[in-house]
Structure 1
Amino acid sequence: MEDKRNIPIIEWEHLDKRKFYLFGICMTMMIRILRTEGTAGLYRGFLVNTFTLISGQCYVTTYELTRKYVSHYTNNNAIKSLVAGGSASLVAQSITVPIDVVSQHLMMQRKGESMGRFKVRHQDGKGLLVFGQTKDIIGQIFKADGFRGFYRGYVASLLTYIPNSAVWWPFYHFYAEQLSSLTPKDCPHLLLQAISGPLAAATASTLTNPMDVIRARVQVEGKSSIILTFRQLLAEEGPWGLTKGLSARIISATPSTIVIVVGYETLKKLSLRPELVDSRHW
C-alpha cells in the first residue's frame, strides 16, 4: 500500500545527482564548521574539516540509498527511516571518529596545551603550519597506539550515534506530518520541517543520552570498558548520572538542527529533477 503523506518525501530517484552532490558538498562544509567552531571555523582547521565532507556525503548517500533498498520490502516510512538512519550513522562514524580524534588533538595544540601523552612541538619558536601539525599528530597517535588509536571510543560512538540517527529520522517525519495536519494547507513545509527537526532531536537525545554520557567518559578519560564505565557511573552518581547534560544537549542542538534540516530539505528541493520541480510545495 502506498504511503500517502501530507508532506511528500523527496526520495533518491527524484533527485538530479549532479546538483545534489555539487550543492551538498558546499552545504556540508559550511554546516560542519559552523556547528563545531562558529564563524571563525571557516578560516581555522580547514584542512582537517575538509575531510568531513567525505563523511557528510557518505551519510546522506547511505541514508537515501538504504531508504530506496528497504522500499522494495516495505512502504512503511518509519521502518525505512529507522533502518536508513542507523545504516547512515554506521558509515559516517567509521569515517568521522578518526577525523575527530585528530581534530581534538589539533585544537588542543593550537591552544598551547598538551593532550594526554602528546606534547606540543614548536618550530623556531613558532607553531607548526596546520599541515605540519596534523601530520605530526597522526604520527604520534600511530606510534603510541597503532591504528587502534584513531578509533578510540569507536564502539561507544556507534552505540550512541546509530540509535540517535535511527530514532531521529522516524520522529522527524512523524512530527512533520502531525504539524501538517494541524496547520493550514498553505503553511510552508520548510517551516514545519524546521520545527520538526528540533522536536525529533529532543526526543532522540532523551532516549540516547545515557549512552552519550558513557561515550564521553570513555573518550575523555581514555577508559577501555563500556560496561565498567557504566558501573562506575552508577556507583558514583546513581541513575540520575545518566541524565547528565541532557538539557544542555537539547538546547545546544536546537540551532544546529534547524540549520541542518533547512539546509538538507532545501538541498533536496534544489536538486529535484526539472520535471518534478512544480510538484513540490515549499
Structure 2
Amino acid sequence: MSAKGEHLKDEGSKLQVVAAGATAGLISRFIIAPLDVVKIRLQLQTHPLHRPPPPGSTIYRGTLPTIRHILQHEGLRALWKGNVPAELMYVSYSAVQFATYRSTTLLLHRLFGEGHLPHAAESFVAGAAGGAAATAATYPLDLLRTRFAAQGNERVYAGLLRAVADIRRDEGVGGYFRGLGAGLGSIVPYMGMFFAAYETLRLPLGGFWALPFGSGDAAAGVVASVVAKTATFPLDLVRKRIQVQGPTRGMYANKDIPEYKGTVRTMRTIFVAEGVRGLYRGLVVSLIKAAPASAVTMWTYERALRFYIGLGGEAVPEH
C-alpha cells in the first residue's frame, strides 16, 4: 500500500491516536452541545403535538422553536446543560474509540494479512469494536449527560458529584447503566456502518471534492454519519427514554415520560402508543447535529494525529 493511500488509523503510536481522538471529541462536543440538548428534549417528548401538554410540561415543536423556548425560559446557558459530563464522555469516548479502532484493525491485519479482508468489512468490524468498547467504558457519563440536558427550570440534581451520589444511593450501581443494552445495540451497527462508509468515501471524496483544508474528510464524515444515524435512530431514542427512568422520572422538563423496562418492550410500547413516527422523534435535529459533529470530529482527528506525529519527530504522511 502506498503512503498516499494509507489510512491514518494505521499510523502513529497508540498514545498519539488516543490524544488525537480525545482532542477531536472535546472540540466537536462543545460545538454541537446546544443541538444535543434539543435532541434529548424532543426524544423524551411522548404526548401528541396537537394535545395540550400535562401540567408543568412543555410541547417542543421542532428544532428552532425548541431553541427559542429554551432561550426564553431557561437562558443561554441552558443550551449547554449536561456539557461537563458530556465533555468528559466525548473525550474519553473518542480516545477509547479510536484506540480500539486502530488496535482492532492491526489485529485483523495480523490474523488475516493486510489487504486480504474486504476494506468495508474490515472497517465495519473495527468500527463496531471501537463503538462498543467506548460505549461501555463511558456509559455512566452518557446517562448523566442525558439527565442534566433533560432538566428544565426545576433542578433534579445540584451538580455532577451530587448526581453521582444520588444515583448510587437511590438506584444502586445499576442505575448508572440504565439503557446500556439499547446503547450497545445501536452503537455497534452505527459505528460499523459509519466507519465502513467513511473509509469507503474518504479517498474518493478527497479527490473529487478537492477543496482547501481537507474537505474530503469532512464530507465523508457527514455522509457516513447521516446513513448510520438514520438506520439506528430508534434504538438511540429507546436508550434516552430508559436513561431517565427511576425515582426522578417525573421531574424533568418532559413531565409525562412513561415507565419503560427493557429495550424490546420499550420499543414495542413506543410503537403501539406513538406509531412509527414516535420512534423517530428528534431525528431531524439528530441528523443536523450528527453531520457537523462527525465532520468536525474526523477533520480534527486527522489533523490532530498528524500534529502529534510531528511533535514526536516522525514523518507526517501526505494526503
**Same topology, TM > 0.5:** yes
Q: How many angstroms does 1:89 deviate by?
A: 1.1
| Amino acid corresponding to residue 167 of structure 1 in structure 2 | M
Query: 1-side partners of 2:87 and 2:270: how far apart?
Result: 33
| Amino acid corresponding to residue 120 of structure 2 in structure 1 | A
| Amino acid corresponding to residue 113 of structure 1 in structure 2 | E
Please tell me whether the aligned partners of residues 7 and 189 of structure 1 are also in contact (alpha carbons under 8 angstroms): no
Please tell me whether the aligned partners of residues 52 and 99 of structure 1 are also in contact (alpha carbons under 8 angstroms): no
| 1:101 and 2:143 are equivalent in the alignment | yes
Please tell me whether the aligned partners of residues 126 and 192 of structure 2 are also in contact (alpha carbons under 8 angstroms): yes
Please tell me whether the aligned partners of residues 201 and 254 of structure 1 are also in contact (alpha carbons under 8 angstroms): yes
Query: 1-side partners of 2:141 and 2:278: how far apart?
Result: 29
| Amino acid corresponding to residue 15 of structure 1 in structure 2 | G
Q: Please, which moves more after superposition, 191-200 or 54-63?
A: 54-63
> Hey, what does 1:212 align to over in structure 2?
236
Please tell me whether the aligned partners of residues 190 and 265 of structure 1 are also in contact (alpha carbons under 8 angstroms): no
Query: 1-side partners of 2:163 and 2:155: how far apart?
Result: 11
Query: 2-side partners of 1:143 and 1:53: how far apart?
Result: 27
- For each residue in 1:232-273, what CA deviation from the matched residue of structure 2 results, as whole angstroms up to 9, or x when unmatched? 222223334334333332122222222111101112222346
| Amino acid corresponding to residue 276 of structure 1 in structure 2 | A
Please tell me whether the aligned partners of residues 63 and 84 of structure 1 are also in contact (alpha carbons under 8 angstroms): yes
| 1:80 and 2:122 are equivalent in the alignment | yes
Q: Please, which moves more after superposition, 260-269 or 47-56?
A: 47-56
Pick aligned residue for 1:201 from 207, 225, 249: 225
> Hey, what does 1:129 align to over in structure 2?
none
SS of equivalent to 1:136? helix
Q: List alignment gaps of at least 5 residues for structure 1.
A: 122-132
Q: Please, which moves more after superposition, 228-237 or 31-40?
A: 31-40
RMSD: 3.3
Please tell me whether the aligned partners of residues 81 and 169 of structure 1 are also in contact (alpha carbons under 8 angstroms): yes
SS of equivalent to 1:69? helix
Q: How many angstroms does 1:227 deviate by?
A: 1.8
Please tell me whether the aligned partners of residues 7 and 176 of structure 1 are also in contact (alpha carbons under 8 angstroms): no
- For each residue in 1:165-203, what CA deviation from the matched residue of structure 2 results, as whole angstroms up to 9, or x when unmatched? 1110010122224435646xx666821111111111111
Q: What is the number of equivalent residue pairs in this alignment?
A: 259
Q: How many angstroms does 1:87 deviate by?
A: 1.0
Q: What TM-score, normalized by structure 2, do the two folds share?
A: 0.69
Query: 2-side partners of 1:256 and 1:30: how far apart?
Result: 9
Identity %: 22
Please tell me whether the aligned partners of residues 86 and 165 of structure 1 are also in contact (alpha carbons under 8 angstroms): yes
CA 1:239–1:250: 2 relative to 1, 3 Å: same
| 1:134 and 2:134 are equivalent in the alignment | no
> Hey, what does 1:155 align to over in structure 2?
181
- For each residue in 1:134-172, what CA deviation from the matched residue of structure 2 results, as whole angstroms up to 9, or x when unmatched? 332222111111100000111111111221111100101
SS of equivalent to 2:130? helix
Query: 1-side partners of 2:13 and 2:295: how far apart?
Result: 24
Q: How many angstroms does 1:65 deviate by?
A: 0.6
- For each residue in 1:16-73, what CA deviation from the matched residue of structure 2 results, as whole angstroms up to 9, or x when unmatched? 4554445554443333333325997999965773465333211111111111111221
| 1:67 and 2:105 are equivalent in the alignment | yes
Q: What TM-score, normalized by structure 1, do the two folds share?
A: 0.77
- Which of the pair has the greater relative contact order for Cα pairs under 8 Å at 6+ separation? 2
Query: 2-side partners of 1:238 and 1:112: how far apart?
Result: 30
**After the TM superposition, which residues 1-282 of structure 1 pair with which residues of structure 2 at under 5 Å, given as runs?**
7-12=5-10, 14-17=11-14, 19-22=16-19, 24-36=21-33, 46=84, 49-50=87-88, 52-72=90-110, 73=112, 74-106=116-148, 112-115=153-156, 133-180=159-206, 182=208, 190-220=214-244, 221=257, 223-272=260-309, 274=313, 276-277=315-316, 279-281=317-319
CA 1:149–1:42: 2 relative to 1, 3 Å: closer
Query: 2-side partners of 1:47 and 1:211: how far apart?
Result: 22
